[in-house]
Copies of this chain bind each other. A is one copy, B any other.
Amino acid sequence: MAEQSGHAFDQAWLTWPELPKGTKGTYRQPWMTRVIASSKTDMGQTASRELQRGLERLFGVNIEILDQMDQGESGVWLGTLANFRLESIARDISVEQMADLEGMGEEAYAIWPLGPGVAVVGASDRGLLYGAFSLIRQMATMTSLQDMVGQNAPANPLRMLDHWDNLDGSVERGYAGGSLFFSQGQVLPPSSRLTAYARLLASVGINAVAINNVNVHGEESYFITPKHLADLAALAERFRGYAIRLFLSVNFASPVEIGGLSTADPLDEAVQQWWQDKAALIYSYIPDFGGFVVKADSEFRPGPFTYGRDHADGANLLARALAPYGGLVIWRCFVYDCQTDWRNRKLDRARAAFDHFVKLDGRFADHVILQIKNGPIDFQVREPVSPLLGAMAHTHQMLELQITQEYTGQQRDLCYLVPQWKEVLDFDTYAKGPSSTIAEVASGKGLDRRLGGIAGVANAGNDPYWTGHPLAQANFYGFGRLAWDPKLASTQITAEWIHQTLGHAPLLVDALSSMLHDSWRIYESYTAPLGVGFMVNPGHHYGPNVDGYEYSKWGTYHFADHHGIGVDRTEATGTGYVGQYREPHRSIYEDVQSCPDELLLFFHHVAYGHRLGSGKTVIQHIYDSHFEGAEAARGLLARWQQISREVPAQWAERVAERLAWQVQNAEEWRDVVNTYFYRKTGIGDERGRFIVP
């Protein structure tokens, strides 16, 4: 593939590399040269231009956009149901088909054969935009027309990115440069870069974005005032063109901190009025404002507990203010005591979200959605699924994933998270009997709830590659695709991303896909073993530090001693956390014999000589996985060197540089973890490999 200039990198998976000559000849149809744009709205025009651009790039030809199709001509017809019903050409499509599509909601689209060509029909302009990107995506992967045909609607009402960006331009847990929205205390005016970002989001169906850090401090508290609202409205407008609603994180203590009130008590009438006034103000600037994201009573952020109220009181306060305008309150369940005592083994941070929230089921207003992290702790490389997901039949819930790789290599180490997320989404909560998967729970469907969705903590910043590690774009892409359709196979998502981003050579697609798919388990193998988590350097969370959090107040321990390791969370002898699960998980996790190896140390404290399901002892597993993990990290670099000539040189170099860092990091992990346990246990490697004494 040809060299690209630096700026071309920001196309990411909208690069749409030209299809290879031979294949292209076979695949390309005569009608793939013309776009007939029936929707004349801005968003409809955007869809047409995207399709034009996609076809031009994929086929290396000029594509014309026509206003209407003449009899007998063919092409890609782009329109909404409303357009379709007006156009005479539409007679090929049945009334039933159209009614079906309409019933799937405004975001749905269909791809239907139309004469010798094809029609992309949106239930609305939003659906049309998604349909246009879908058609290009499918062409980029050379999907047959036959396989494209059908209707498609998102599984999740909310498909959201949460940015943890600060007004000074920094990004909490950001590994991809500075903020896309803020710099040096200013909200940035909308730029072509912002448009490029909105395109990326729309292309994978993201429809909501919270742009500021959930830890709302100082000046960011003033976002909901005239001081910043005009600037924020300009961003919202740019996003709106791509069917994305803007959300803001807010400070629960705002009535006190910026409002001059003496309290932020949710039951105080002046406080209630204050928030209502704020809502009216916000909607006067941003008529389709999405709502608030709130982190309250967590990690030193204020919340309703300050006033002796509970989280339902707190969330409902804000929901009542936003409801008249259709705004939502997204209330995070990441609430735990971060001042815990490591000496007390009965305290268990893993219990916190369930303990805090389940008892409030039914008390939340209809505009409140609880946002629940995938695991009970904090985005570790391996955690069980949070038992809170699906535990509240009368409460809107959504799943929170972390795309930014806080604990999974920080976009220096390759760690493709789509396989992890798939495991989470496929986990059966048994909330309403079998097949109540997390995917079903999060979307709301599984619990017959109107609202639901998936939020991901964003991994993009002003890095030229968007994500620091260029291959971390695949996490960004994959998140969006899974939020749209959790049933997608991760291999398909990976292939889509490679074809649209880098090219079509089978060697590249196959090798890179396997690198990506191996990477999560590789990262897991050289970091904290068997689900025990943490063992990272405190604060920044990169690199090994086995005891880094062991004697801290953060509630994340491994309890390794001379005899054994792990956290006893059983009901019989431990913290009782296991009891938060429904059967059969409860029994499976409770029993050290049936507990899956990869979660063993999360649920049990066992001797180093304990035999895993794999037949290995725990200590030997630690040694093996760390030796093998470091070796596999080296293998990733070697594998990249085999294929890197297939991608632009700068891209290839950036990836190679990151993979070389990863090799060092993996060796550091290997040596620190192995030495730590060798020093602690006195047990050597049974295969006699060198462990630093």
Stretch at the interface among A20-28, A107-115, A556-564: A556-564
C-alpha gap A672/B553 in the complex (Å): 12
Q: Are B692 and A563 in contact (CB under 8 A)?
A: no
Asked if A343 lies at the interface with its beta carbon under 8 angstroms from chain B, I say: yes
Q: Are B560 and A679 in contact (CB under 8 A)?
A: yes
Asked if A355 lies at the interface with its beta carbon under 8 angstroms from chain B, I say: no
Q: Chain B residues near A679 (CB, 8 Å)?
A: 559-562, 680
Given A343-B692, A671-B343, A692-B343, CB of A682 within 8 Å of CB of B561: yes
C-alpha gap A559/B693 in the complex (Å): 8
Asked if A31 lies at the interface with its beta carbon under 8 angstroms from chain B, I say: no
Asked if A9 lies at the interface with its beta carbon under 8 angstroms from chain B, I say: no
Give the nearest-CB partner of A560 in chain B.
B679
Q: Mark A650-692, 1 if CB is under 8 A from B, else 0.
A: 0000000000000000001001100110111110000000001
Q: Chain B residues near A544 (CB, 8 Å)?
A: 551
Q: Return the contact of A562 from the options B342, B345, B562 (Cβ within 8 A).
A: B562
Min Cβ gap A565→B in Å is 10
Q: Are A551 and B545 in contact (CB under 8 A)?
A: yes
C-alpha gap A415/B544 in the complex (Å): 33
Q: Chain B residues near A343 (CB, 8 Å)?
A: 671, 675, 692
Q: Are A551 and B680 in contact (CB under 8 A)?
A: no
Residues in A536-590 with C-beta less than 8 Å from chain B? 539, 544-547, 551, 559-563
Please tell me how many copies of the chain the complex holds: 2
Q: Chain B residues near A545 (CB, 8 Å)?
A: 547, 551
Give the nearest-CB partner of A552 in chain B.
B545
Give the nearest-CB partner of A675 in chain B.
B551
C-alpha gap A562/B668 in the complex (Å): 21
Residues in A465-481 with C-beta less than 8 Å from chain B? none
Q: Chain B residues near A680 (CB, 8 Å)?
A: 561-562, 679-680
Min Cβ gap A661→B in Å is 15
20 residue pairs of the A-B complex, CB under 8 angstroms, read: A343-B675, A343-B692, A345-B693, A545-B547, A545-B551, A546-B547, A547-B676, A551-B668, A551-B672, A551-B675, A551-B676, A559-B679, A560-B679, A561-B678, A561-B679, A561-B693, A562-B681, A562-B682, A563-B682, A680-B680
C-alpha gap A555/B457 in the complex (Å): 37
Min Cβ gap A668→B in Å is 8
C-alpha gap A561/B684 in the complex (Å): 13
Give the nearest-CB partner of A561 in chain B.
B679
C-alpha gap A682/B539 in the complex (Å): 30
Extra 18 A-B pairs, beta carbons < 8 Å, given A343-B675, A547-B676, A560-B679: A343-B671, A343-B692, A345-B693, A544-B551, A545-B547, A546-B547, A547-B547, A551-B672, A551-B675, A551-B676, A559-B679, A561-B678, A561-B679, A561-B693, A562-B679, A562-B680, A562-B682, A563-B682
Q: Chain B residues near A551 (CB, 8 Å)?
A: 544-545, 668, 671-672, 675-676
Give the nearest-CB partner of A680 in chain B.
B680
Q: Chain B residues near A692 (CB, 8 Å)?
A: 342-343
Min Cβ gap A604→B in Å is 16
Min Cβ gap A517→B in Å is 31
Q: Mark A336-353, 1 if CB is under 8 A from B, else 0.
A: 000000110100000000
Q: Chain B residues near A682 (CB, 8 Å)?
A: 561-563
Residues in A325-363 with C-beta less than 8 Å from chain B? 342-343, 345
Give the nearest-CB partner of A690 in chain B.
B343
Give the nearest-CB partner of A673 in chain B.
B551
Q: Chain B residues near A546 (CB, 8 Å)?
A: 547
C-alpha gap A559/B679 in the complex (Å): 8
Q: Chain B residues near A693 (CB, 8 Å)?
A: 345, 561
